[in-house]
Amino acid sequence: ITKNNNETETLENRRAKVIQQAQEYYYQEPMNLVRGWQQYLIADDGRVYLDAINNVAHIGHSHPKVVDAATKQLKKLNTNARFLYEDNIDYAERLLKYFPESLQVIFYTCTGSEANDLALRLARAYTNQNDVLVIDGEYHGNTTAVDEISTNLMDNPTASKSVRPFTHPLIQPNTFRGKYIAKTPNLSELYAQDALDKINYIHSQGRGIAAFISESLLGSGGGVEMPKEYLKKVYEHVHNAGGVCIADEVQIGFGRMGSHFWGFQKEGVLPDIVTLGKPMGNGHPISAVITTQKIADAYRKKYTYFNTFAGNPVSCQIANAVLDVIEEEKLQENAAIVGNFLKQELEKLIDEFESVGAVYGHAMYLGVDLVTDKKSRKPDSQKALWISEAMKQRGIIIYPTGDYYNILKIKPPMCFTKENAIFLVETLRTILSKMED
């Protein structure tokens, strides 16, 4: 309950009146959050929640280094990105060191959607083609152009209406509930064949392929890891057909994969364009597109790109502080250690409970697939919602995702500890026991 104009009204009601929000986390009694600190969120009643979902607060909520960087820069200079200043150059030079040599040009943007939108424009300008391969069930953002290539019905309820004839969704390579399941021989070839078939179809229509866009671990799919070599094979088909490959690192980048700084490195592929977002500014809207000089030049011959806020001095100082903290606090290493431990512990639940079908993911991006029963593997979204509610009551924020909304997503701030992981798994175990009883 909160006060507004001398009336007492719930915050939810006030929100519903003035904000047209398309998607939100639904709890029977949503908490009113007033403070974030490290991997914790605090409500107005003083209750502390373990945040197991916030990959935007990558280095932890309210990190003092980010607060300092923003405050100092706000006092000094913030400006429209048309001017010459050092902050965006310094940060670009630093960030590009995290990339392979061929990826040497940066465009600043403000959101993941803008980054993917621009990535598509770059690919289309470079190839003079329009058709795009995507992985079915993925989400790449909210502008008109990326809406047209996002087929995830949960993140993008308009998907079935807005996906266009030039968008070609590939069968999602999920080896638990996909077309081909684990232990099938030549899994990656079978799934990658779909890319070749779609490319052949595009050619048969007298057109060519502009791009293949994908995450290197399927975020909206619930944290699904693709079969080994799958991405390599699809990249090969796309490159042979003259298309460019876009790696969407908006969800999974900046060390979350533990073993690698970027998801595409884990899959051993070399994209032509990489898009960054969410964790880059730890909650502050800064994102980017990284590409090759050749692609950037092809684009510049046809178009210019301007974005008022993108790469402004404050945003760049914040992004710089984020990299400082990832390095100083060894958060990539922590993602590997804690994430791998958490995945192992979650996997134990598969043998213990009929409702737990599979555990997906890598390091600090995981998903727990809930089923009605092991034999049918039927996705159970009711259980996922019920468990999320029960976890919240016990002080943990976790929420469903995936094509069927039956996968609990786990992608916490990277300062998540082993103790947090144990608390999460023990709480989930208690709830699953009660539920199955």
Instruction: Give me the residues that bind ligand PMP (CB under 6 A), please.
Output: 111-113, 116, 139-142, 215, 219-220, 248, 250-251, 277-278
Smallest distance from ligand PMP to CB 266, Å: 16
Q: Which is nearer to ligand PMP, 223 or 339 (CB)?
A: 223
Smallest distance from ligand PMP to CB 53, Å: 12
Smallest distance from ligand PMP to CB 155, Å: 6
Rg for the chain (alpha carbons), in Å?
Answer: 22
| Length of the chain (residues) | 437
Separation of alpha carbons 234 and 248, rounded Å: 15
Smallest distance from ligand PMP to CB 344, Å: 26
The torsion defined by the Cα of 118, 239, 263 and 378, in degrees rounded to 10, comes to 100
Residues whose CB is less than 8 angstroms from the CB of residue 351 and which lie 6 or more positions away in sequence, other chains included: none
Smallest distance from ligand PMP to CB 278, Å: 6
Instruction: Tell me the residue nearest to ligand PMP as measured from the CB.
Output: 112
Q: Which is nearer to ligand PMP, 187 or 281 (CB)?
A: 281
Task: Output 82-91 pairs: Cβ under 8 A, ≥24 positions apart.
Answer: 82/306, 85/313, 87/311, 87/312, 87/313, 87/316, 87/317, 87/320, 88/311, 88/312, 88/313, 88/316, 90/316, 90/320, 91/311, 91/316, 91/319, 91/320
Separation of alpha carbons 399 and 388, rounded Å: 5
Q: Which is nearer to ligand PMP, 113 or 420 (CB)?
A: 113
Q: Which is nearer to ligand PMP, 222 or 380 (CB)?
A: 222
* Cβ atoms within 10 Å of 207's Cβ, excluding its own: 14
Smallest distance from ligand PMP to CB 138, Å: 7
Contact 289, 115 (CB under 8 A): yes
Smallest distance from ligand PMP to CB 242, Å: 25
Output the CA–CA distances (angstroms, integers) from residue 6 to 27, 146, 308, 391, in the order listed: 27, 43, 39, 34
Q: Which is nearer to ligand PMP, 241 or 311 (CB)?
A: 311
Q: Which is nearer to ligand PMP, 250 or 296 (CB)?
A: 250
Separation of alpha carbons 326 and 347, rounded Å: 28
Q: Which is nearer to ligand PMP, 116 or 188 (CB)?
A: 116
